[in-house]
């Protein structure tokens, strides 16, 4: 599946030899327009600078959340050569730490909803050549439907002036092989209206994503209630025959529970890492090499953890669940969580995490810690209150004795 949005001509621009030819024949617009594109949170997207003067050898990328308002961020090292190791980046970092420039294109890693806005490629002097209107939609409160439960997606909302609908991606591959697996399909919110702002160009006439700046202000309160959608359905695919017959049989026996005496003790042939977590502490496990758009599945030993039962939001009282970023999350680790958790990526078993539970770590305190200061303040305050109560009772007793004598 291709998740990076681009105009139809962009597919040919991956060939480096054709880059210069495109810049020679494609002139920049006299009036800066913004091309709309929608992405899901935690995705990595690429924005190509589709035009520039021939004399310009490097571009500078600029970012504004709202056009003409606020501070303009400069996303460049002014050489047009900024390259990052994406494996070392986290989504919590600011956008200045999560971008790279490759062949005049801006690459933003682990995009977040706060990264939505206007992106413009230009020169060091501040001349703008090409612009994008980026909408990064969150999946945290997504509308989830399971086909097995015959649940229905969100209905389209249509009036005389606009239509709000969901545009779906293709189904992912089956996340497991040899046993029943699951597939996901992600849908993003879009709106069709003839009253969109003219400065924003559309790949489809009168259609932009719901978070686009092209949407008039009077429609935005309606769009806030619209959520991204995630559909889940069951699937089954056979495992690859790349393994030898004996190894493949042994693999299926041990992973899926069909064991015999010969293979009963053999573990799955995947790397297994041991991790020790303190009891009652939260824990999040990520599948190695997996991205949010991948088909990822989790098993505990020989038991499959299906999204139908373990997806976040299915049951709010769940202590263990799978979030929309494909992570296995424990609200508080307990003793019965001990075991080996296997991770599937794109239909293949790739790794195992052996979870062990230990005692909470001993924390060494000193008198300058905030917790120590708070504890001392609480103790001294309690002592002072008890002292005042004792003095008050003694005074009342003395007054009572004094009046009794008269």
CA atoms of 153 and 144, how far apart (whole Å): 8
Structure tokens at 213: 């700046």
| Length of the chain measured in residues | 406
Can you name the residues that pair with 165 across neighbouring β-strands? 190
Sign of the dihedral through C-alpha 142, 146, 149, 150: positive
Q: What is the CATH number of the domain that holds 38?
A: 2.60.40.10
CA atoms of 202 and 163, how far apart (whole Å): 16
Are 227 and 168 within one domain?
A: yes
Are 31 and 75 within one domain?
A: yes
Q: What is the mean pLDDT of the chain?
A: 80
| 83 in any annotated domain | yes
Are 39 and 106 within one domain?
A: yes
Sign of the dihedral through C-alpha 12, 13, 18, 20: positive
Which of 115, 137, 159 is the last residue before a domain boundary?
137
Nearest alpha-carbon partner for 195 in 214, 223, 167, 222? 214
pLDDT tens digits for 279-303? 888 999 989 888 878 899 999 998 9
CA atoms of 338 and 118, how far apart (whole Å): 47
| 381 in any annotated domain | no
Are 319 and 336 within one domain?
A: yes
Give residues with Cβ within 8 angstroms of 1, minimum separation 6: 169, 170, 172, 293
Question: What residue ranges in 13-172 does DSSP mark as E strands?
Answer: 34-40, 45-47, 60-64, 73-75, 99-102, 105-108, 117-122, 128-137, 143-146, 157-158, 163-168
- Structural domain boundaries enclosing 99: 8-137
Write the Ramachandran bin of 277: left for phi over 0, alpha for psi from -120 to 50, otherwise beta.
beta
pLDDT tens digits for 112-138? 899 999 999 988 888 888 999 999 998
| 120 in any annotated domain | yes
pLDDT tens digits for 186-226? 999 999 999 999 888 888 889 999 999 999 999 989 998 89
pLDDT at 300: 93
pLDDT at 388: 92
pLDDT tens digits for 138-156? 888 889 899 888 889 999 9
Number of domains observed in the structure of the chain:
3
Are 48 and 129 within one domain?
A: yes
Give φ, ψ of 263 to 5 degrees: -110, 10
pLDDT at 118: 93
pLDDT tens digits for 235-275? 999 987 654 444 544 444 444 444 444 444 455 678 899 99
Are 110 and 174 within one domain?
A: no
Are 176 and 279 within one domain?
A: no
Are 26 and 132 within one domain?
A: yes
- CB atoms under 10 Å from CB of 289, counted, come to 13
Are 197 and 306 within one domain?
A: no
CA 348 to mean position of chain CA atoms: 22
Q: Lowest mean pLDDT of 27-41, 169-183, 357-371, name the range.
A: 357-371
Are 231 and 295 within one domain?
A: no
pTM (predicted TM-score): 0.69
* Helix/strand/coil for 123: coil
pLDDT at 229: 92
């Amino acid at each position: 599946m291709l998740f990076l949005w681009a105009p139809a001509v962009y597919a040919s621009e991956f060939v480096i030899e054709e880059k210069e030819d495109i810049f020679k024949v494609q002139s920049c617009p006299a009036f800066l327009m913004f091309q709309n594109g929608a992405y899901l949170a935690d995705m990595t997207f690429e924005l190509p600078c589709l035009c520039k003067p021939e004399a310009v050898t490097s571009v500078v990328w600029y970012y504004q959340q709202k056009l003409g308002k606020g501070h303009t961020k400069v996303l460049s090292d002014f050489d047009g050569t900024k390259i990052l190791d994406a494996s070392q980046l986290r989504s919590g970092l600011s956008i200045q730490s999560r971008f790279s420039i490759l062949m005049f294109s801006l690459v933003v890693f682990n995009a977040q909803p706060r990264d939505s806005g206007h992106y413009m490629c230009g020169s060091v002097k501040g001349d703008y050549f090409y612009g994008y209107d980026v909408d990064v939609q969150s999946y945290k409160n997504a509308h989830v439907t399971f086909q097995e439960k015959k649940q229905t997606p969100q209905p389209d909302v249509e009036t005389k002036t606009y239509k709000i609908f969901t545009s779906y991606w293709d189904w992912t591959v089956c996340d497991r092989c040899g046993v029943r697996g699951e597939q996901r399909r992600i849908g993003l919110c879009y709106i069709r209206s003839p009253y969109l702002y003219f400065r924003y160009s559309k790949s489809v006439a009168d259609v932009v994503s719901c978070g686009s700046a092209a949407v008039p202000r009077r429609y935005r309160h309606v769009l806030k209630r619209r959520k991204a959608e995630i559909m889940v359905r069951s699937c089954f695919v056979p495992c690859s025959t790349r393994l030898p017959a004996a190894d493949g049989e042994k693999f299926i026996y041990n992973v899926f529970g069909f064991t015999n005496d010969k293979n009963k003790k053999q573990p799955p042939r995947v790397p297994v890492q041991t991790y020790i977590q303190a009891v009652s502490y939260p824990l999040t496990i990520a599948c190695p090499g997996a991205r949010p758009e991948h088909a990822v599945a989790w098993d505990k030993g020989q038991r499959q953890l299906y999204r139908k039962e373990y997806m976040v939001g299915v049951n709010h009282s769940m202590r263990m669940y799978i979030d929309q970023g494909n992570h296995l999350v424990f609200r508080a680790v307990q003793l019965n969580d001990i075991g080996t958790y296997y991770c599937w990526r794109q239909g293949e078993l790739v790794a195992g995490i052996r979870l062990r539970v230990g005692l909470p770590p001993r924390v060494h305190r000193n008198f300058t810690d905030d917790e120590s200061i708070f504890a001392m303040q609480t103790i001294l305050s309690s002592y002072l209150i008890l002292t005042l109560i004792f003095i008050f009772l003694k005074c009342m007793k003395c007054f009572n004795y004094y009046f009794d004598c008269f």
